Amino acid sequence: MKIVDIHRKEIVYRKAVARAIIEVEDRRSIDEIYKNLNDIVKIAEKGVRTAWLHIPLLHPLPITRIEVDLQNIDNNIEITCSGETYYKTGIEMDTLYGTACVTSYIIHLLKGKAYLKEMNVVEKVKRDLKEDIDDLNGAITISIETTLNMKTLTTRVVRSYTCVGYLKLREETINKILRKEVEKGDPLVIGELSCLENVKRFSEIIGEVFHVLNAKSRADVVGRDTLRMILEVKTVEDSWGPVTHGVLSGLIAMWDVVKKYEKDSSGQYPNAKIIDVKLLEGS
């Protein structure tokens, strides 16, 4: 596997918009989501800015703007997260990760009584604005501060959680994966690693320490155009959010590895999307 060499690319303006649709079991719980709107915005912004720490092959980006929007449509919550940068590589995986962080937080907030129906990149913009960014050609420094609040475990009951999600791709992309022809490396292996890493690091999103007793991830090909990620976790804590977050992060990492093959002639992603991320078991 490898991180793509971008040093010869030019710095240009880039924007990406990611969207997630979450179905909520009890419509009354939507009020609870809006009570935490400030936290949701902060979590999305932090997710976009720290995506490079969590998705194995991403480059750090100098992000200039992030916007987060939440809409209530019937029993669905629609999250839109957009990001902008002037840099040598795109920001679409970063906005997907920010959206995934919010999705995981909402599912955690609602104690697992919600699921992700679909998540995709709805817009990607790449525009040459060379005259405006001459000052960005020097060194770029990104610093991240993370504060965790320690908590004491009050139970010794071991709980098990299982979550599954899917990534829809072109059939041609799936064939490349099966033939081991993906330039960046094996997306299934990278997805599994990202899944496990992110279930452990969910505490950095919500500001509490999350203790994993055991975790097992599995990525595979199901059907002619679909990848699947399954995560099983044992813990002594309520873990709807962390398990969902692990699966989402693994799916985004796999998307990142094959994104070169998913773009159309205008650089959009007409086929790729994350769907049906659900808790199969939680006790």
Nearest CA to 92 among 267, 278, 283? Answer: 267
Residue 220 lies in a domain: yes
pLDDT (tens digit, 9 = 90+) per residue, 232-262? 988 877 788 899 999 999 999 999 999 999 9
- Please report where in the chains the tokens 């475990």 appear, as a residue: 153
Cα 25 to Cα 99: distance, rounded to the nearest angstrom: 20
pLDDT (tens digit, 9 = 90+) per residue, 46-64? 999 999 989 988 888 889 9
Residue 2 lies in a domain: no
Per the structure, the count of domains in the chain is 1
Radius of gyration of the chain (CA): 18
Strand ranges inside 187-259, DSSP E: 212-221, 226-235
Residue 245 lies in a domain: yes
Residue 1 lies in a domain: no
Q: 283 pLDDT exceeds 50? A: yes
Structural domain harbouring 38: 12-282
CATH number of 278's domain: 3.30.70.640
Q: Higher model confidence: residue 226 or residue 32?
A: 226
Residue 186: φ, ψ to 5°: -80, 110
Residue percentage of the chain with pLDDT more than 90? 63
Residue 179 lies in a domain: yes
pLDDT given at position 132: 54
pLDDT (tens digit, 9 = 90+) per residue, 91-133? 999 999 999 999 999 999 999 999 999 999 999 999 876 555 4
Tokens standing for residue 40: 């949701």
